[in-house]
Amino acid sequence: MRYLVFCIVLLFTARITLAQPIYAGRYKTIFTAPPANVPTVKTPDAPLAGNGDIGVTFGGQPGKLQLFFGKNDFWRAYPVYPGGGIALPGGLDLAIDALKGAAYYAEQVPDKAIIHANFTKGPAKVTIDSWVAATRNTVVIEITANTTCTIQPTLWATEGNTSINNKGVTGNVTWATRSFENTPLLEWPCHVALAMRIPGNNGANDKIIVTPGEKKIITVTMYTNNDRSDWKTAAIEEAQSLTTAVIQHMYAEHLQWWRRFWQQSTVQIDDPVIEKYYYTSQYLFACASRAGKFAPGIWGPFITKDSAAWGGDYHLNYNYQAPYWAAYSSNHIELTHNYDQPLLDYMNKGKIHAKELLQVNGIYFPVGIGPKGLCTTRWPLTPEEMLARYGTTDNRIDSGYKFLGQKINAVFGAGNMLMRFYSTYDTEYAQRIYPYLIACAGFREDYLKLENGRYVIYMDHYYEVMPNLRNNGRWRHQLGDVNSTLSLGLVKMLFKGMIEVSTFLKKDLHRWARWQDIVNRLSPFPVGETGGRLSLQPVERSPVERLQQPTGLSRVSIHGLLLPGGVCGPVTDSAFNTILLNDVAHWKDRMQQKGEWGNTLNNGIETCFPAAVRVGYDADEILRQQKDRITVQSFPNGFITQGGGGMETLSAVPMTVNEMLLQSYEGVIRIFPNWNHNRDASFSKLRAYGAFLVSSSLRNGRIELVKLQSEKGRTCVIQNPWPGKTVQCIRNGKKTAILSGQRFSFDTKANETIILKAI
């Protein structure tokens, strides 16, 4: 019997392992027409590639292709947008006269992270493969043709917006630079160099003659002064070193990096549409985020214009945080290494804001920041510009910074930190984020009011409150929210997290009693009656009448309660969860058209769908609604588009699916918690709270087994995957304990693998 169990485990593991590269590769995206939304200040609709720092947007027509090169660390560090924010370094034009009017075909291939394009005109066919080296600062373009053709490459750096530009030729390298410096209010200088090399061409600016049977290669190497102080020299010298042999080695490293990435986890749910967006979303986020690099802003490195919408900044009332959410449970922790740095860098300014504007301790953050302590969200610098854009001349609101009535932004930023901590229980990481968390706690300890035995939150608004042209600059009458569900949920999340992290690190234990008191006596989430049932109310009190009505669970309240808040759900409070579940059931009542379930056409697809899973809404209906939403508003490259942002939608499908297959909030692991058990599914190495990697499969209505890999040797608490049955625990191939009950727990050892199987 032991041998049979061992064989089943081997077959299960082998099936998933062998499927990993296949699943990433099978879901390539196909383009049969040139992109129509390039250049743009928002998400491009073109084929995309990247290495978590450099992004390539493959634009243009066959006769004149245009590759746009974005870079996460190239910013105009100016505190007002438009004008400030992430900037476009430049690009490469490829003029191919023989392909004017040619048929367009391109593929975005996720397993190899390449853009594969074919252009045909009559018998002529040109193939162009483009990729961004996973381990280098270089873009590679490989060109083959079945007939002789001429290509004129033109490297360019974007001009304007106060930049200083230069270009030249050094040996066989063509280069272009762009710099922002010596401008009033610029917080730090930023420089970028683009260096092009065409191995085999004698002259740097020569036309490329492609003949049948040969491959021509163009490389573009990019460095900024944030990469290294000798940014220009480094780009040119590295470009000069790129021989054909070096490029081949670089490609082998590139494939190896992506192979490891796809092996970190996998899911199979036998739904081609959802699986395609699951893997494409993972691909695009991996193209946009990487350890040791600047974090991606709203549009990631897929920048095709200066003055991107909202400056392409780090918007802290969900846009910045959301793209990372699925990476934790998908076991792509390395993609989240860059998240914390902008928040840590802004702490000094945040402390000044708290003291000067609110006379409290801790940190207070505006709605938008950038890297290296940059504030991107100042009001316009002149009353005249303020009047033109916002309907009032008062540009000294909150000393000129956009807080927009919300005091929750710093705590909102802590949500991702806690998600990663619970997922890894990494001591070094806990020590890194602890100063930030304790500063958030200090602010809230000072700001909360204890009244009639409960803690109350004043003037922390549910929605952004600000002057604009629609209200003719009249907005102060909207101030006055009391106990916003957004703030209540995130504050509870913070103090529950403070207790856990401080206990883990054995720090500030004398403050534990106060934090627990806040958790216990924080005002309850407001509810009211509508249509004969209880429903969530956005705030307890507000001068805005509609916010005092029980309008139900929605995107903003979800942020506080469920994601990233994590303080509600069936495990936490089943009675309150019933109210939230009923609210989700009534989302259909407000639909005006197919695809707007949860009111997610403007914002919220990354929030509402996984929240519906968490509260226990019907899984099949959620997937149907999500597919309708994708059909209504998405691009061929896999981006699901919405009004308020870009990168955040990349967590929508992965987070929804992961939550269906595995949940672990409140430290309780649940296997296939919200999945139709009549549909086969499997997953491998999804990450659960407690630092566990979990694998399982569901076949013919039955969970076959559960495999747990314990990274840190913590106690595992799991809801019985086989209700009413006893469970055999197998450690290192040997049967040990017999487990029973609705929920059971057992100790583990670091790096131990445990198999659970129903008896």
Residue-wise pLDDT for 167-221, tens only, equals 999 999 999 999 999 999 999 999 999 999 998 876 556 799 999 999 999 999 9
pLDDT of amino acid 206: 76
Say if residues 706 and 8 touch (Cβ distance below 8 Å). no
pLDDT of amino acid 26: 85
pLDDT of amino acid 25: 79
pLDDT at 15 over 80: no
pLDDT of amino acid 680: 97
pLDDT of amino acid 202: 61
pLDDT at 462 over 60: yes
Q: Which phi-psi region, left, alpha or beta, contains residue 370 (left: φ > 0; alpha: ψ -120 to 50)?
A: beta
Give the pLDDT band of residue 18 (cuts 50, 70, 90): very low
The average pLDDT across 516-532 equals 97
Structural domains of the chain ordered from first start: 30-266 (2.70.98.50), 268-656 (1.50.10.10), 677-758 (2.60.40.1180)
Supply the mean pLDDT for the chain.
Answer: 95
Give the pLDDT band of residue 11 (cuts 50, 70, 90): very low
Q: Which residues pair with 718 in a beta bridge?
A: 669, 744
Write the pLDDT tens digit of every residue in 253-282: 999 999 999 999 999 999 999 999 999 999
pLDDT of amino acid 44: 98
Is 248 strand, coil or helix?
Answer: helix
* Residue 664 tokens, joined: 């672990």
Give the pLDDT band of residue 490 (cuts 50, 70, 90): very high
The average pLDDT across 695-703 equals 97
pLDDT at 306 over 50: yes
Give the pLDDT band of residue 643 (cuts 50, 70, 90): confident
Sign of the four-CA dihedral 409, 414, 420, 422? negative
* Residue 542 tokens, joined: 């507000």
More confident position, 14 or 468: 468
pLDDT at 753 over 90: yes
pLDDT at 566 over 80: yes
CA 156 to chain centre: 30
Write the pLDDT tens digit of every residue in 655-691: 999 999 999 999 999 999 999 999 999 999 999 999 9
CB burial of 366-399 (b: ≥16 within 10 Å; e: otherwise) equals bbbbbbbbbbbbbbbeeeeebbeebbbbebebbe
Is 566 strand, coil or helix?
Answer: coil
* Residue 616 tokens, joined: 């226990």
pLDDT at 1 over 70: no
Q: Which residues pair with 31 in a beta bridge?
A: 106
Nearest to 710 by CA among 422, 431, 424: 424
pLDDT of amino acid 732: 85
